[in-house]
Amino acid sequence: MTQSLPLVLGIETSCDETAVGIVSGRKLLANVIASSVNEHERFGGVVPEIASRAHLEAVWPAIARATNEAKVSLDDLDAIAVTAGPGLVGALLVGVSAANGLALALDKPLYGVNHLASHVAVDLLTHDKTVGPAIALLVSGGHSSILKLDSLAGSYEQLGRTLDDAAGEAFDKIARLLGLGFPGGPLIDSEAKSGRAEIDFPRGMTAAKDQADHRFDFSFSGLKTAVSRYVKATPEYQRANVAASFQEAVVDVLTMKSIDACKESGIETLLIGGGVAANSRLREMAEDRAAKAGLELRIPPASLCTDNGAMVAALGAELLRQGVKPSDLGIAVDSSASVSVVSF
């Protein structure tokens, strides 16, 4: 192993994507994703049991595809990294079991890593800059958080979080309400392009009374209720306008609070990650507001926003490069892991 360029395989199975990535230092060699989204579509959301069974079927073929794509063998690897939490318990267990088995059979170090920290670490694969200090906005189907970090392997502080649904979950529910299907994020994004954000839907947790205790927290329950009531009360509603107005309300709050967190902390770098980071309006608004605030904005390409093994491998490679102690074999999963725990 070249100390600065460790070859690491990452496994991600925290939700419905079975993902395997391989990196050499900060260079992406393979990024294989096998999604079970079609199996969840008729339920309008992810069903944990279905996700776990899909992971069982897909994880070993995904590992084989990744090594073939990267043109490396398992013996070439310097370490194995795997998401150990947070996420769905059964889904996490599949990935962690596979990683434990690989590490034992190959006699390689194992790094059980935090899913949220991995979304931050994907930033390593897009440029050669140092990651941190930074404010990170992580938005997906399961998480909506604002984090303050000094470095990838250092301390993380959660400044804000969702108090009810995550942003991605709200997208899914409103997409179902509008008859668009699942997953809701890309469908609403597409529908909104032909609409006008002319409906004044509420911005949760932005009222003056919320600023003292929930300055950087999110809430989307009131927004969902407002959209539902509007649709029921307006039989001739224009779906594209509702989609655009709902999307505007979500991204307005996400970007406003993230920029505010940067200003409050004096940190000039904003990272945005997670599946919702692929939303075109979020990216557009974040770029505009960050530029006006004099902040550096870093958002990964859309292909690296959703859950993927590349981000897990990138974090594992950085931990190995920095000499962080590997995890013990037989590592357990933690479905509700705090982001303050970067590696397990």
Q: Tens of pLDDT along the chain (344 residues)?
A: 445 689 999 999 999 899 999 999 999 999 999 987 777 777 777 888 888 999 999 999 999 999 999 999 999 999 999 999 999 999 999 999 999 999 999 999 999 999 999 999 999 999 989 998 999 999 988 889 999 999 998 889 999 999 999 999 999 999 999 999 999 999 999 999 999 999 999 999 999 888 888 999 999 999 999 999 999 999 999 999 999 999 999 999 999 999 999 999 999 999 999 999 999 999 999 999 999 999 999 999 999 999 999 999 999 999 999 999 999 999 999 998 988 888 89
The answer to whether residues 81 and 318 touch, using CB atoms and an 8 Å cutoff, is: no
Tokens of 239: 């779906």
Does residue 142 sit in the same domain as residue 274?
A: yes
Does residue 151 sit in the same domain as residue 288?
A: yes
Does residue 143 sit in the same domain as residue 260?
A: yes
Does residue 147 sit in the same domain as residue 285?
A: yes
In a domain, residue 2? The reply is no
Does residue 172 sit in the same domain as residue 279?
A: yes
Predicted local distance difference test score (pLDDT) of residue 2: 45
In a domain, residue 213? The reply is yes
By CB atoms closer than 10 A (0-12, 13-18, 19+), residue 127 is exposed
In a domain, residue 337? The reply is no
Total domain count, the chain: 2
- Residue 65 CA: distances (Å) to CA of 19, 61, 118, 226: 11, 6, 21, 45
Does residue 263 sit in the same domain as residue 295?
A: yes
Does residue 137 sit in the same domain as residue 284?
A: yes
In a domain, residue 150? The reply is yes
Does residue 211 sit in the same domain as residue 182?
A: yes
DSSP letter for 76, please.
G
In a domain, residue 336? The reply is no
Does residue 158 sit in the same domain as residue 285?
A: yes
Does residue 205 sit in the same domain as residue 71?
A: no
- Residue 265 CA: distances (Å) to CA of 150, 213, 282: 12, 17, 22
The span from the CA of 57 to the CA of 20, in Å, is 14
In a domain, residue 312? The reply is yes
Structural domain including 104 reads: 7-123+305-321
At position 333, the amino acid (one-letter code) is V
Predicted local distance difference test score (pLDDT) of residue 269: 98
Which ranges of the chain does DSSP label H, i.e. alpha helix? 37-40, 48-70, 89-106, 115-121, 167-177, 184-192, 211-214, 221-233, 239-265, 280-293, 309-321
Does residue 110 sit in the same domain as residue 140?
A: no
Predicted local distance difference test score (pLDDT) of residue 1: 45
In a domain, residue 72? The reply is yes
CATH assignment at residue 247 = 3.30.420.40
Does residue 180 sit in the same domain as residue 287?
A: yes
At position 195, the amino acid (one-letter code) is G
Neighbouring residues of 316: CB distance < 8 A, sequence distance ≥ 6: 8, 10, 79, 80, 81, 111, 113
